[in-house]
Amino acid sequence: MATSSEDMKKDLTFRRFEEGDHEWDSMHDKIFVQDTSYKCPTYVHRTPPCQGSCPSGEDIRGWLDIIRGIETPPEGMTKEEYAFQRSTAANPFPAMMGRVCPAPCQTGCNRNDVDGFVGINSVEQYIGDSAFDSNYAFADLPALGNKKVAIIGGGPAGMSAAYHLRKMGIGSTIFEERAELGGMMRYGIPGYRLPRNKLDHECNRILNMGGVETKMGTRVGKDVAVADLEKEYDAVLWAVGCWNGRSLPLEGFDETPNCVSAVKFLEQFNTGNMKYTANKVVCVGGGDTSIDVVSVSRRIGTLKDYNEAPEEVIEGRIAHGEIDDSAKTPCANVTLTALFKREDMTAAEHEVNDAIKEGVTIMNEVMPIEIIRNDEGRATALKLADCKFENNMPVLVEGGKEYVVECDLIVSAIGQYGDLIGNEDYDNGRAFIDSDSFYQVPGKAGHFVCGDIVRPHLLTTAIGQGSVAAESIAHYVNQEEQKKRPKVDVHHFSLLNKLNEAEMTPDTFADKGLEEDQQRGTCFKDFAVHNFEDRSHQEIISTDKMFLGHFPYVSRNDRDEDVPTSDEVLGHYHERMIGLPEEKAVAEAGRCMSCGMCFECDNCVIFCPQDAVFKVKKDQHTTGRYVDTDYNKCIGCHICADVCPTGYIDMGMGE
């Protein structure tokens, strides 16, 4: 896990760069940099690492700059709606991802080299909740064409694909086995983490685009044949997810009735069929799913006169009716075991801390070695032993301790795999579906695949795969050759689009009546942006290109959390993550260092000794076009590049 949240909240007494870092200690580097001294500044747009780390490829810096007020929206549009449109260009679920995404973007954030990452998730939640409150809709949709795609699965991958196809004018029908859309967002994550009214809203917003139909309660391979889909639709996308949980690799796990999977446990809770559970629960895992199991167990508790087999409801053989709270009591013991050290658990750090506060016992660096059963064959305890990792595998510690944890229910949360019954032709032998580099199913023309059924990962990964699969499908149905593998990281800031939006579209060559030999030397011409270079598709900017001394320590604006204590947790279903108010959302967005893009700090203008760098006139100003250079005055001292906080200036003109 990353630096603890407690450490992040402390006032730092050090900086993560040191005195003298600005000086060249290598003669080779010194000579190389001196080679730029005769050159003049160019303005180079690069990708920030937050976007480069995002599995759905969001223009994170872009919508942070909008919320903080650096990039202004078109006339008549609020910053919240403009940020919503920018965010959902890649990901149509900002309210969902702002709450539960483990945020690899925050791990990648360059501000970690100053004082700690920007709370990207919290600002995304603010954008999503603002869109919910104001009922924003997706804009600028093209007309529907005559192509249509069958999407099998209405989870994050399938919904994302339907959304991105519709933005390309391609309609779709989603075939979903369950009663409601959302997949694991609905059936795998508890409502106190993902409020169902906001999940419903974000799903319905996609359906309201038009051209996205649904067939609910329909299992392809049982209720409808794949061959019929092939006849009726131009392409088929498999986005079926992984609805089977992996068993613990212990003798007799599958035959022991009260040993169950986390997937089934959470689905029965989230459908409302499970109102209480066993008295003593042990869950083996270490990821977010295992945290959900133990946190749910603490909330639903057990009955004072509990006498049923807990697996009956988990396996769907019975359903609980409404239970009076007075009949419930907290579970005697809820334990989570993990192979890893606490800091290496894959669950989000705050989720782990919340579970502990709620009364969960967490045992780290232990591995299960035996299920202890009674004469009826039911598990009564789980035996564990100390372990460590060698060659990326857990091994028992020689001479280590053994532990026996009593339990009435053992839940396995160690992984998932697909349910391909009825569609065995697509099973690669491991209960997944193979994909080529274009997200096509090998050997199955017109069939594509995305999401967990390719490889289980994050929700945002499935959403990103839905977008790239949609791109491949669009090429296929339009009979266009697709030369390059689709990429998720394509939602970059475009200066030309921004100039067009601000009604500052550059003149064309034809407008100027220029001959071919007059098309060189654009310093004082207005048919091109003469000193801008877009490297966003090739480069991610790192802090060694930035002037970190510009950024003071600024405490993060953390969201409040409604986390009950162990005495309060029973029946506590209030939303856990409380969104930031506007003032704090703007302040947190303001901590963004706008890596690779000008944020209008004026350093280059202030420190230029020749007054060669100047602010452009207000009627020519827009994001990415705030300063310009008079090359008749520039002497190539590269001070402007040295003091540019965001790394937006390169000494490149004059090769």
Amino acid 144 reads L
Per-residue pLDDT of 78-114, as tens digits, reads 999 999 999 999 999 999 999 999 999 999 999 999 9
Tell me: pLDDT of 14 over 50. no
81 sits in which H/E element: helix 79-87
Res 2: pLDDT: 47
Per-residue pLDDT of 360-402, as tens digits, reads 999 999 999 999 999 999 999 999 999 999 988 999 999 999 9
| Strand partners for 394 | 389
**Over the Cα atoms of the chain, what is R_g?**
28
Burial 17-28 (b: 16+ CB within 10 A, else e): eeeeeeeeeeee
Res 620: pLDDT: 86
Amino acid 173 reads T
Provide the mean pLDDT of the chain: 92
Candidates 65, 109, 22, 121; CA nearest to 597 is 65
Tokens standing for residue 234: 């131009």
Res 33: pLDDT: 56
Res 512: pLDDT: 53
Tokens standing for residue 595: 């890596």
Angle, alpha carbons 326-332-334 (nearest 5°): 115
Amino acid 560 reads D
Cα–Cα distance measured from residue 364 to residue 549, given in angstroms and rounded to the nearest whole number: 40
What percent of the chain is modeled with pLDDT above 70? 90
Per-residue pLDDT of 261-304, as tens digits, reads 999 999 999 999 999 999 999 999 999 999 999 999 999 999 99
Mean pLDDT for the stretch of residues 442-466 = 97
Per-residue pLDDT of 509-526, as tens digits, reads 655 555 555 555 556 666
CB burial of residue 351 (10 Å; 0-12, 13-18, 19+): buried
Tell me: pLDDT of 31 over 70. no
Res 497: pLDDT: 87
Cα–Cα distance measured from residue 339 to residue 305, given in angstroms and rounded to the nearest whole number: 34
- Neighbouring residues of 516: CB distance < 8 A, sequence distance ≥ 6: none
Burial 486-517 (b: 16+ CB within 10 A, else e): bebbebbbbbeeebeebeeebeeeeeeeeeee
Res 506: pLDDT: 79
123 sits in which H/E element: helix 120-134
Give Cα separations from 387 to 369, 384, 395, 412 (angstroms): 11, 9, 5, 18
Specify the CATH number for 148-243+418-477; select among 3.40.190.10, 3.40.50.970, 3.50.50.60, 2.30.30.140. 3.50.50.60
Res 581: pLDDT: 97
Res 1: pLDDT: 45
Query: Within 10 A of 527 (CB to CB), how many other CB atoms are there?
Result: 15
Tell me: pLDDT of 176 over 80. yes
Amino acid 615 reads K
Kindly report the pTM of this predicted structure. 0.92
User: Do 645 and 603 touch, CB atoms closer than 8 A?
Assistant: yes
User: Do 306 and 278 touch, CB atoms closer than 8 A?
Assistant: yes
Mean pLDDT for the stretch of residues 329-344 = 96
Res 183: pLDDT: 98
Res 3: pLDDT: 46
Tell me: pLDDT of 547 over 50. yes
Cα–Cα distance measured from residue 547 to residue 647, given in angstroms and rounded to the nearest whole number: 7
Secondary structure (H, E, C), 462-507? HHHHHHHHHHHHHHHHCCCCCCCCCCCCCCCCCHHHHHHHCCCCCC
Confidence label for 35 from pLDDT (cuts 50, 70 and 90): low
> In 546-651, which residue ranges form alpha helices assigned H by DSSP?
582-589, 603-607, 639-642
How remote is the C-alpha of 577 from its chain's centroid?
A: 16
How remote is the C-alpha of 12 from its chain's centroid?
A: 29
Domain 245-415 annotated CATH 3.55.40.20: no
- Neighbouring residues of 532: CB distance < 8 A, sequence distance ≥ 6: 42, 43, 44, 45, 495, 624, 625
Mean pLDDT for the stretch of residues 234-261 = 97
Per-residue pLDDT of 195-217, as tens digits, reads 999 999 999 999 999 999 999 99
CATH 3.50.50.60 residue ranges for the chain: 148-243+418-477, 245-415
Cα–Cα distance measured from residue 252 to residue 412, given in angstroms and rounded to the nearest whole number: 13
Cα–Cα distance measured from residue 259 to residue 134, given in angstroms and rounded to the nearest whole number: 46
Confidence label for 58 from pLDDT (cuts 50, 70 and 90): very high
